[in-house]
Amino acid sequence: MNLNATLFLQLAVFLILGGFTMKFVWPPIVKALDERAKKIADGLAAAEKAKSDLALADKRAIEELRSAREKAGEIRANAERQAGEKVDEARTEAARIIAQAREAAQAEAGLAAQQARDALRDQVALLAVAGAEKILRREINPQVHADLLANLKQELQ
């Protein structure tokens, strides 16, 4: 337990080592620590932001999906309505054409029947005259009996 000049040298070494650390050791380490702390803080903030962005995007996607579904439904309804209209149109058109065809056919048939009836009537008159000839065993003068025949014809109509 003695004191000697080692004390002063140790004192000098003490201050010199402290000065060295102050100049070359402390600043870079503290700088690195501060920078890393900032980086971590930035990273955490970015993660937070990404999370909220994701939630937002999710919400938007759901909205988009719903609106797309609505639009699709609308389009389908429209298409169905249009198709129905088309079918109805076609049906009315078809009914019209059928009715027209039926009318035409009826008219034709009526005409044909009229003609047939007319022809038949002529022949019936002839047959009646012939029958009457045979019945009366004598010839009837068509000119004389024209009125009679005409009457008969009228009755047959």
Partner 1 sequence: MAIEHAAQGPSPGEYIRHHLTHLNNVGEKQTSIVDWWVINYDTLFYSVGLGLLSVFLLWLAARKATSGVPGRFQGSVEMLVELVADQAKGIIHSAESRLFVAPLALTVFVWIFFMNAMDLLPVDLLPMLWQQATHDPHAYMRVVPTADLSATLGMSIGVLLLCLYYNVKIKGAAGWAHELFTAPFGPHPALWPVNFLMQIIEFLAKTISHGMRLFGNMYAGELVFMLIALMGGAWAVSTTGILLAIGHVLAGTAWAIFHILIILLQAFIFMMLTLVYIGQAHEGH
Angle CA 46–47–50, to nearest 5 = 85
- In the complex, least distance from residue 41 CB atom to partner 1, rounded to whole angstroms: 12
Q: By the 8 A CB rule, do 157 and 121 touch? A: yes
CB of 40 to partner 1, least distance (A): 9
Minimum distance of partner 1 from residue 44's CB (angstroms): 15
Q: Rule CB under 8 A: which of 24-83 touch partner 1?
A: 24-33, 35-36, 38-39
For 49, the token pair is 């932001």
Is residue 2 a contact point for partner 1 (CB under 8 A)? yes
If one asks whether residue 15 binds partner 1 (CB under 8 A), the answer comes out as yes
Number of residues that bind partner 1 (CB under 8 A): 34
The full DSSP string for 35-103 is HHHHHHHHHHHHHHHHHHHHHHHHHHHHHHHHHHHHHHHHHHHHHHHHHHHHHHHHHHHHHHHHHHHHH
Footprint of partner 1 (CB under 8 A)? 1-11, 13-15, 17-22, 24-33, 35-36, 38-39
